[in-house]
A = this chain, B = another copy of it.
């Protein structure tokens, strides 16, 4: 890549042709889609054939600069030529047509495909277990943690006793023990039942669903700007770590794993210090519980490191790191052999992942390495942060608590209310920028890894134009 020009055929700027977003064609499409599934959350009907790089087109001929990128999951821009080549490969076609039950009948290329994931693994991780989505990855990690916890108690290589084998079929202890995962307030870890039990961001994710009675701790709430409130924020770290310590000591159900996002994303881009994460690692060691780092949204380069938790110099490395989204595939990395149960077939299912998506993950990793995209994202993020900082001084009411300094393009800020935020995002679409929200009143930037300085300039210009008109 020639720096600053990854996509040579991108539009120069957004184009908005329709008077409203969604435009008339999108509105008709949303109605038609509503005949066959739930189409209420649709923003617009995209035209992926016409989308290029950082620009997403819709069926009304609008072309938006995309800083949301499929809820933070598009890694390398629309119709990326390297990925198209991979998609056309014989290997991919076979993975699509002859989808194997990978656990029983892997193909001759399976080890190589998995190695493609491991080539990008976080420091200290040398094995992977594959899943299909972020929620799936987290729940598979929970299973591993629970089996590990009971294995440690029982003796890893020891078999099950009669009482366990019998009680488990009635979902009762000791075969189905009461065990917990500790998560944090405002965390998001998925929306199935166990992942949903660990999710604490919004009621809408959880209402009317039975949940496990698992504990939650407080995630630090810092005062900004950070350099001004160093002492206060240090105290906040200590307060939150003391709560974790207390729960691990005294919660009514044993805690097998502590689950945390390096940056709480859906929950509002809440950051915590390196010292907090190091303290948390120490607490997991002290109490004999696993540290599970959920890198579903933060992973794969966007924070200026391949994996966000690498900012924290954790030692030893986390026990389990989950991934999905920008890797297009999903699963978890681990390193301790005891995290693989002594008995086969305990972590198992029909497909054990999707090789088509795993092949893509390998290609994504290669393209990132070849073009040095993590470093580029770090640079572009610094450029973007400084521009936003200036804009924040100009419009303090609309760009509050700017977050994500030195975290690549993983940047967010707050507005004064949910209404103000929703209006801002809606108005910005009519200016040709597709951006997403998080938590109650924040917006989050989640561009691809090929978002460049020239895109930053357009983004800043569009925000400036919009806020000037308010």
**Which A residues fall within an 8 A CB radius of B?**
29, 32-33, 35-49, 51, 56, 59, 70-71, 73-74, 78-80, 83-84, 87-88, 90, 92-94, 96-101, 103-108, 110-111, 114-115, 118, 126-130, 132-136, 139, 142-143, 146-147, 149-151, 160, 164-165, 168-172, 175-180, 185, 190-194, 197, 200, 203-204, 206-214, 216, 324-325, 328, 340, 343-351, 354, 356-357, 360
Whole-angstrom distance between the alpha carbons of A190 and B132 in the complex? Answer: 14
Most chain-B Cβ atoms within 10 A of its Cβ — which of A176, A325, A340? Answer: A176
Closest residue of chain B to A78, judged by CB? Answer: B98
Whole-angstrom distance between the alpha carbons of A185 and B169 in the complex? Answer: 9
Whether the pair A197, B171 counts as a contact (CB closer than 8 A) is yes
Whether the pair B193, A194 counts as a contact (CB closer than 8 A) is yes
| Chain B: minimal CB distance from A441 (Å) | 17
Most chain-B Cβ atoms within 10 A of its Cβ — which of A49, A169, A171, A191? Answer: A171
Q: Report chain B residues within 8 Å CB of A178.
A: 210
Whole-angstrom distance between the alpha carbons of A168 and B201 in the complex? Answer: 11
Q: Report chain B residues within 8 Å CB of A41.
A: 103-104, 344-345, 348
Q: Report chain B residues within 8 Å CB of A90.
A: 49
Given contacts A41-B103, A151-B208, A204-B343, contact A98 B74 (CB under 8 A): yes
A134's partner among B37, B126, B168, B350 (CB-CB below 8 A) is B350
Whether the pair B207, A160 counts as a contact (CB closer than 8 A) is yes
Whether the pair B142, A200 counts as a contact (CB closer than 8 A) is no
Whether the pair A106, B45 counts as a contact (CB closer than 8 A) is yes
Most chain-B Cβ atoms within 10 A of its Cβ — which of A35, A101, A130? Answer: A101
Q: Report chain B residues within 8 Å CB of A29.
A: 106, 108, 111
Whether the pair A59, B108 counts as a contact (CB closer than 8 A) is yes
Whether the pair A46, B128 counts as a contact (CB closer than 8 A) is no
Whether the pair A37, B114 counts as a contact (CB closer than 8 A) is yes
A96's partner among B104, B151, B360 (CB-CB below 8 A) is B360
Whole-angstrom distance between the alpha carbons of A354 and B95 in the complex? Answer: 14
Whether the pair B45, A108 counts as a contact (CB closer than 8 A) is yes
A133's partner among B88, B93, B136, B180 (CB-CB below 8 A) is B136
Given contacts A105-B56, A160-B207, A343-B204, contact A350 B71 (CB under 8 A): yes
Closest residue of chain B to A100, judged by CB? Answer: B70
| Chain B: minimal CB distance from A315 (Å) | 24
Whole-angstrom distance between the alpha carbons of A110 and B43 in the complex? Answer: 14
Whole-angstrom distance between the alpha carbons of A44 and B102 in the complex? Answer: 11
Whether the pair A176, B97 counts as a contact (CB closer than 8 A) is no
Q: Report chain B residues within 8 Å CB of A96.
A: 83, 87, 92, 96, 356, 360
Closest residue of chain B to A150, judged by CB? Answer: B208
Given contacts A37-B128, A99-B73, contact A49 B206 (CB under 8 A): no
Ranked nearest first, the 6 interchain pairs of A and B with the lowest CB-CB distance are A40-B344, A171-B211, A193-B194, A150-B208, A176-B211, A132-B132
| Chain B: minimal CB distance from A80 (Å) | 6
Whether the pair A99, B74 counts as a contact (CB closer than 8 A) is yes
Q: Report chain B residues within 8 Å CB of A45.
A: 106-108, 110
Q: Report chain B residues within 8 Å CB of A104.
A: 41-43, 70-71
Whether the pair A209, B143 counts as a contact (CB closer than 8 A) is yes
Closest residue of chain B to A198, judged by CB? Answer: B171
| Chain B: minimal CB distance from A99 (Å) | 6
Whether the pair A176, B206 counts as a contact (CB closer than 8 A) is yes
Q: Report chain B residues within 8 Å CB of A180.
A: 210
Whole-angstrom distance between the alpha carbons of A134 and B132 in the complex? Answer: 11
Whether the pair B203, A51 counts as a contact (CB closer than 8 A) is no
Most chain-B Cβ atoms within 10 A of its Cβ — which of A41, A132, A348? Answer: A41
Closest residue of chain B to A31, judged by CB? Answer: B111
8 A-B residue pairs with CB within 8 Å: A59-B108, A70-B105, A87-B92, A132-B132, A135-B349, A169-B185, A175-B208, A176-B207
A190's partner among B175, B349, B356 (CB-CB below 8 A) is B349
A48's partner among B100, B151, B356 (CB-CB below 8 A) is B100
